[in-house]
């Protein structure tokens, strides 16, 4: 009986430690709160979409989109892989009479925010999102990631 209680107590202690470590890990870098202007660089399509919808992105956010990296507090590297349908060979798939199958790829968008640390840039925040065609059509990944960045950077200000 003592062994069982000891095991349960040890398990609870380990779960508490793991939960505390995970909670600490999820906290955004405090330097994120000092950012007011960001410069988007990278995938042309995603950056163009953000610049074209600048007012919508900046509305209700403490972040502004800068035209120049030198005038920005941080730089966001944007990567964007458009989804769609691609044909792949079914030579290795035993499907009688099949010539190809269609594979749906997600729309993958990623943000990597870096701030100046001396002469170098240091990454302090990154997120990515994969959307299917319907989700991408309703609200593009770049907007969803801007919402997440805004939430982390502007909370409490």
The pTM assigned to this predicted structure is 0.70
Residue 90, pLDDT score: 44
User: Is it the case that residue 150 has pLDDT exceeding 70?
Assistant: yes
Domain spanning 36-154, CATH class: alpha beta
Q: Show the beta-strand stretches assigned E in 14-141.
A: 37-42, 64-65, 74-81, 84-89, 100-105, 107-117, 120-131
Q: List pLDDT tens digits, range 53-90.
A: 999 989 989 999 999 999 999 999 998 887 755 544 44
Q: List pLDDT tens digits, range 100-146.
A: 555 667 888 899 999 999 889 999 999 999 888 777 776 788 899 99
């Amino acid at each position: 009986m003592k062994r069982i209680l000891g095991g349960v107590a040890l398990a609870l202690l380990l779960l508490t430690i793991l939960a505390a470590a995970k909670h600490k890990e999820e906290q955004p870098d405090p330097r994120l709160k000092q950012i007011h202007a960001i410069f988007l660089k990278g995938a042309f399509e995603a950056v163009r979409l953000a610049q074209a919808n600048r007012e919508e992105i900046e509305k209700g956010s403490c972040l502004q989109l800068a035209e120049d990296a030198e005038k920005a507090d941080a730089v966001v590297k944007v990567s964007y892989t458009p989804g769609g349908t691609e044909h792949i060979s079914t030579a290795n798939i035993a499907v009688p009479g099949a010539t190809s199958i269609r594979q749906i790829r997600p729309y993958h968008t990623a943000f990597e925010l870096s701030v100046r640390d001396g002469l170098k840039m240091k990454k302090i925040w990154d997120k990515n999102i994969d959307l299917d065609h319907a989700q991408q059509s309703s609200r593009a990944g770049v907007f969803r990631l801007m919402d997440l960045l805004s939430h982390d950077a502007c909370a409490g200000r």
